[in-house]
Structure 1
Amino acid sequence: MRWFIFILFYLVLSWYAFQSVRTLTRINWIHYSYIVLSLVILGSFIYQFAFLSEQSRLMTPARSYAFGFLLTFIVSSLCVIPFLFGEDLYRLGAGVYNKFFGQGQSFTVLSRRKFISTIALGIAAIPFTSLLYGMYKGKYNFRVLRYTLHFDDLPDAFDGYRITQISDIHSGSFDNKSKIEYAVDLVNEQESDVILFTGDMVNNEAREMLPWKDTFSKLTARDGKFSVLGNHDYGDYISWSSPEEKTKNLDQLKDLQKEMGFDLLLNENRYLEKDGERIALIGVENWGAGGFKKAGDLGKAASGIQKDDFKILMSHDPSHWENQVIQDDYHYHLTLSGHTHGMQFGIEIPGLIKWSPVKWRYKYWAGIYEELGQYINVNRGFGYLAYPGRVGIWPEITVIELKKKELA
């Protein structure tokens, strides 16, 4: 029934949007091309998500592209509809007026005007080209974002300490090995003291990481690389033949991370030491508000950590920081999160605008925030999920330098 409603919605939307094309040109091959394209996009989506649903649970690149092209077509069509609908109301009103107030005129609906369809298609071309660009180029348009944070209680030995954070790899979505190798090399070029990965290594299954295991094994930092789990790493979003199979999948992912050289922190902590001084690194399992998995245990993760230690917390979902971390008795100097992806869509012009629809869901959704003398960085994500692209919110490699605040 859901498929029937969706197909009906898509066909009606496509037919209505097609009226602008038909108004603008009478060339038949353009009309036929539009119709064939809309049907091919619909057929591809149905094939990938209906007919292959039992054969594969993975969000493969083919499925991502099927969804991406469908999304592009629907969003572009929706941009056309308000113009056509507004014109249709005018045409209907004019026809009624002529019928009852015209001098003997019959009810006649005016023809569509070309300039309205031209404007509608011109507006629709903006999301159409943007979303296609996001799939072609944007998803691998890696950016290195650098921040310097000052703390008055940072141990002297860690003045100038550099952290590289990556998050949300979503390896099951990748389709270009050379681009990923370039990004891994870019991480290593930062020559940071430590690499911290804040969750969502896969979309659902551990096997998604197998083709990329050797590539991510090349990540290196002087003090090692550490990781935590994200909500997608638990395999909660697909069906399993048994609870044992699901548990085995998670164990395989944990083993894979170890084989790649990551120290996976499962509600645990480590000390990073330098010149006789140390800072605490705490990693919690996923904790998310709004129906997301709450496996994180901050108290357990910080067990053995002293209250006056300088603390860095790795927690995948920034809602954890908002709901638990900020008000905790322990002062967590810096929290590193990801999860939001910046919705993979938005507008960012440094110093002028920073906007994405995801801001309506997450208060802290991208970049550095400060509350009660504590910082969080929400990484925009290394990979992508579902829509195989990024528009305006580019894949991110974060480099954070810790600095000792000079006393006045």
Structure 2
Amino acid sequence: MIFVLVIAAIFALLGAVHWYLWRRLVRDTTAPRSVARRTGTTFAVVLPLLILGAFVAPRAGAPFPLQQAIAWPGYLWLALVLYLTLALLVGEVVRAVWLRVPARGPSAGPDAEERAAAPAAVASLAAGAPPATGGAPTAAETPLAEVSPSPSPAPSRRLFVARSVAVGATAAAAATVGYGTYSVLSGPRVKRITVPLAKLPRAAHGYRIAVVSDIHLGPTLGRAHTERVVAAVNRTAPDLIAIVGDLVDGTVADLGPAAEPLRRLEARHGSFFVTGNHEYFSGVQEWVDHVRELGVHPLRNARVELPGFDLAGVNDISGENHADGPDYARALGDRDPSRASVLLAHQPVMIHEAVRHGVDLQLSGHTHGGQLWPGNLIAAAANPTVAGLDRYGDTQLYVTRGAGAWGPPVRVGAPPDVTIVQLAARDA
């Protein structure tokens, strides 16, 4: 019942937003029954259906090429809807101020006087009044046939303001989404951060972990995106690679070729993987087996001992709905507490269990840094840390913004990243 109510609320919101966009971009800027009005109205009906299709097609098991064909226009339009709406809301203020400013009338002068006198003169002639005498001829002395007709009226001021706001909002939204799409398709940035660990021995000082999260291979981001991520990671020559969940949005059958470049990841101590919530939507066991075939080691509530510290990984908390949730006792319970520990856990909210189990550093993703501003405000309400390094008691938490994008292949205010976390010994 709750799921049905949520879906109904989403449909209602989508409908209300598109009605508002139609009103400001189509109804207020076009003539009734015009071709432009009919075309705009058609788009106002079809485009939200593309958004719904982009969400529904994967869940309905549609052929993958069809998913791709619908996803690109549907998700890009979704991003445009967000920024068109925000821009038009700003435009409401502009519109209100602009329409309250008194209109500037025709400038004063002889021409203005003649324009003002012409209607009165014509009326006088029609009534049989004698023409004015003396001075320069006036419009009243000109035969009616010679009085030039007045020009066609210009568009109303209200129409001019509506069109100006619509054009400005559309340009701003298109530029924002265009830049955000370029940000994703140009590949993740490499970010570097140093994290001191009190228990880390001097021999492990400077150890570098490449943290990769939220690649989100799917209908919009495929093999080329994986190649960009792998190239960015390998350029840094890390000691270890940690993929902290949400690798895929789809099945191995559809996305196996897209994940293939992961086979080329290079690190001195190998690559490790923990599940994110999206793996549980995509066939988790198949993906765990597949990444193992690609040379990436899954850490499913497990731990490995590395020179200088323990590396542990736990399943995502959404696995609890599949009898496959995180098991901290299994991953951390019997370790030597005198050794430094690094935990891979997809969601930042898992930090509280990490603190209880004496973890020194947790590496997470999941938030995308908000992905689309002002989504960071929503992410902050649901996560203890949205991006960057924080401390909770004796445990530090680092959250990467992720290397890909979910839904719209667009990022605004939260560029994708691969983070090199360099561990530092306190006494080095």
Normalising by the smaller structure, the TM-score range is 0.7 to 0.9
What is the SS of the residue equivalent to 1:386?
coil
| C-alpha contact (below 8 Å) 1:20/1:121 kept by paired residues | no
Tell me the equivalent position of 1:42: 48
RMSD: 3.8
User: Which shifted more, 69-78 or 46-55?
Assistant: 46-55
Residue 13 (str. 1) matches residue 20 (str. 2): yes
| C-alpha contact (below 8 Å) 1:227/1:264 kept by paired residues | yes
5+ long unaligned stretches in structure 2: 1-6, 100-155
Q: How many residues align?
A: 362
Residue 374 (str. 1) matches residue 382 (str. 2): no
Shift of 1:43: 4.5
Residue 252 (str. 1) matches residue 259 (str. 2): no
1:296 to 321, 326, 333: 326
Shift of 1:317: 0.5
2:359 to 327, 332, 336: 332
Residue 67 (str. 1) matches residue 97 (str. 2): no
Alignment of 1:146-165 (within 5 A): 146-165=192-211
Q: Deviations over 1:24-77 (max 9, x none)?
A: x99x67656644544442353455556886342879443432133134135414
Higher relative contact order (CA 8 A, sep 6+): 1
Distance (Å, rounded) in 1 between the aligned partners of 2:295 and 2:56: 38
5+ long unaligned stretches in structure 1: 92-109, 237-248, 348-353
Matched to 2:260, the amino acid is D
Shift of 1:152: 3.2
Q: Deviations over 1:346-367 (max 9, x none)?
A: 38xxxxxx96542232230111
| C-alpha contact (below 8 Å) 1:17/1:77 kept by paired residues | no
Tell me the equivalent position of 1:76: 84
CA pair 208-70 structure 1, distance change in 2 beyond 3 A: same
CA pair 324-152 structure 1, distance change in 2 beyond 3 A: closer
Distance (Å, rounded) in 1 between the aligned partners of 2:185 and 2:225: 10
Residue 22 (str. 1) matches residue 29 (str. 2): yes
Tell me the equivalent position of 1:242: none
Alignment of 1:124-203 (within 5 A): 125-175=171-221, 177-203=223-249
CA pair 392-77 structure 1, distance change in 2 beyond 3 A: closer
Residue 284 (str. 1) matches residue 314 (str. 2): yes
Q: Deviations over 1:81-125 (max 9, x none)?
A: 57559968999xxxxxxxxxxxxxxxxxx9726346524642453
- TM-score normalized by the length of structure 2: 0.72
Considering fraction of residues, name the structure with more helix.
Answer: 2
Distance (Å, rounded) in 1 between the aligned partners of 2:317 and 2:56: 32
Shift of 1:14: 3.4
| C-alpha contact (below 8 Å) 2:366/2:402 kept by paired residues | yes
Distance (Å, rounded) in 2 between the aligned partners of 1:203 and 1:83: 37
Matched to 2:88, the amino acid is V
What is the SS of the residue equivalent to 2:29?
helix
Percent identical among aligned pairs is: 24
Distance (Å, rounded) in 2 between the aligned partners of 1:218 and 1:233: 21
Distance (Å, rounded) in 2 between the aligned partners of 1:289 and 1:214: 25
Matched to 1:166, the amino acid is V
Tell me the equivalent position of 1:102: none
CA pair 228-122 structure 1, distance change in 2 beyond 3 A: same
| C-alpha contact (below 8 Å) 2:302/2:312 kept by paired residues | yes
Distance (Å, rounded) in 1 between the aligned partners of 2:46 and 2:261: 35
Distance (Å, rounded) in 1 between the aligned partners of 2:57 and 2:328: 43
Distance (Å, rounded) in 1 between the aligned partners of 2:189 and 2:98: 48
- TM-score normalized by the length of structure 1: 0.76
Tell me the equivalent position of 1:396: 417
Shift of 1:264: 0.7
Distance (Å, rounded) in 1 between the aligned partners of 2:163 and 2:50: 28
| C-alpha contact (below 8 Å) 1:72/1:131 kept by paired residues | yes
